[in-house]
Amino acid sequence: MSWTTARLDRVLPELMREYGVDMWILSMREYAEDPVFWSIAAPTTFAARRRSIYVFNDRGPGAGLERIALGGTDQGGNFTPYRSSRPAPTGEAAALWGDAQWRLLYEIVDDRDPENIVVNIDEHHAFSDGLHSGEREALERALGKYADRIQ
């Protein structure tokens, strides 16, 4: 088990529960990565992909966290990547991007119905302040009625 996997399996669920977090969303664009990205990315990852959205959903004690990648890779097997329903020219499932990412994010949030959603915004700690202003605006538009659950 890698250190990243161990942290995601053991430490993150406890932290999310300690602070009452149901869902944590990291949204970033290529070359404008959230500082947290480098602590969850596989060592061979060069950058976020166009737009990468990582969702951590607490399924409750004993069930662990659901870890979803929308537009990113599985980061060494640590996330379940969702792919586009449209095939790539190679015939494989294409990477998810554009409006399809935001629509699928809404569906995921709607299906799980979290009481609260946290994002990385903090005026004091740089490592906790990785959500860029434009990303936040796009995220809030995409979440629609769930945007008011962002803390």
Residue showing tokens 């996997």: 5
The pLDDT of residue 95 is 66
Q: What is the pLDDT of residues 74-89, one digit of tens each?
A: 888 888 998 766 665 6
> Dihedrals φ, ψ of 141, to 5°?
-60, -45
Q: What is the pLDDT of residues 18-75, one digit of tens each?
A: 999 999 999 998 888 888 888 888 778 777 778 999 999 999 988 989 999 998 788 8
The pLDDT of residue 127 is 80
Enclosing H/E stretch for 58? strand 51-58
Q: What is the pLDDT of residues 83-139, one digit of tens each?
A: 766 665 666 666 666 788 999 999 999 999 999 999 999 899 888 888 889 999 999
* Domains (range + CATH), the chain: 3-149 (3.40.350.10)
Output DSSP code: residue 99: H
The pLDDT of residue 116 is 99
How far from the centroid of its chain's Cα atoms is residue 62's Cα?
21
The pLDDT of residue 85 is 66
Mean of pLDDT over the chain:
88
Q: Are 69 and 54 in contact (CB under 8 A)?
A: yes
> Dihedrals φ, ψ of 142, to 5°?
-65, -35
Residues facing 150 on adjacent strands: 117
The pTM score is 0.88
d(CA 63, CA 6): 15
Confidence of residue 15 (pLDDT cuts 50, 70, 90): very high
The pLDDT of residue 91 is 63
Q: Are 95 and 83 in contact (CB under 8 A)?
A: yes
The pLDDT of residue 102 is 94
| CA distances for 117 relative to 21, 86, 146, angstroms | 7, 29, 9
